[in-house]
Amino acid sequence: MKTRYDDLLDDLPNDDSRNCAPSFELFLQLPAVKALSPLAFNVSEATVKDVLAKLEQQVDQVKEEMATYALDVRFKALKLILAVTTEMTEKEIEDLDPDVLAEEAYDDEFFERPSSWLSCRHCGRHGPLLDLLKHLQTGCHKAHWWTFRFPMYLPVEVACASSAIFDLLKVDMDEPMTPKELNEKLEGHSLTWENAPRWKGAQRTGWRYLVRFPFLFPFLFPSLR
């Protein structure tokens, strides 16, 4: 099944699409795939060949579910961003139709703006949606937890820390930027969090560390408890 999954990823048009695809663990949970698992058949491994043959018969449906998954990730990310960066109410966000993703206002550039950057729920890494998806697919050690919770979040404290850093730089957060470009802008400068707790490490500098702070010390932040 893993080999077939890898083939399906290879069929996708580019790396961005691959990063938006479900991880292998989640692929196995797609309805069309799950229904084919030996466990669902309740039979021995001897039928794996049959299962794979059946997968081929409904590969179009599997591909469709993979595409739906990618859209769903984007839609959930959009809702997280709107909840923290706009005045929209919880209900207005809940009532949004996934079709809004087709609007120009929420195109790729929208997700590349620093005001739309999100955090990895497993390690606190902060960055644009596609970077985080790549990080989750290839880098984050705890990515196997994907099946239980949406792997990204945006604590309001992180959004505020990020906004303070961009204010300091006098850089517009609504202009698309990459984390690498932010590093370049900060080169030669150091950041100090003056009222950070005084234990070891808490006053380290660097934007990545500062925006990870709520992740590292959630007990200090009421909204994350």
Residues that bind Zn ion in the complex, under the rule CB under 5 A: 120, 122-123, 125, 140
- Closest contact distance (angstroms) between CB of 11 and Zn ion is 27
Task: Considering only the C-alpha atoms of the chain, give the largest distance between any 2 of them, rounded to a whole number of Å.
Answer: 64
- Closest contact distance (angstroms) between CB of 159 and Zn ion is 18
Closer of 62 and 140 to Zn ion (Cβ): 140
Closer of 65 and 157 to Zn ion (Cβ): 157
User: What φ, ψ does residue 152 adopt, rounded to 5°?
Assistant: -125, 155
Closer of 123 and 164 to Zn ion (Cβ): 123
Measured at the CA of 139, the angle between CA 68 and CA 148, to 5 degrees, comes to 50
Collect all residues with Cβ–Cβ distance below 8 Å to 11 and sequence separation of at least 6: 63
User: What φ, ψ does residue 153 adopt, rounded to 5°?
Assistant: -155, 170
- Closest contact distance (angstroms) between CB of 149 and Zn ion is 13
- Closest contact distance (angstroms) between CB of 132 and Zn ion is 8
Distance CA 214, CA 193 (A): 13
Closer of 18 and 122 to Zn ion (Cβ): 122
DSSP state of 23: P
Return the number of other C-beta atoms located less than 10 Å from residue 198's C-beta: 7
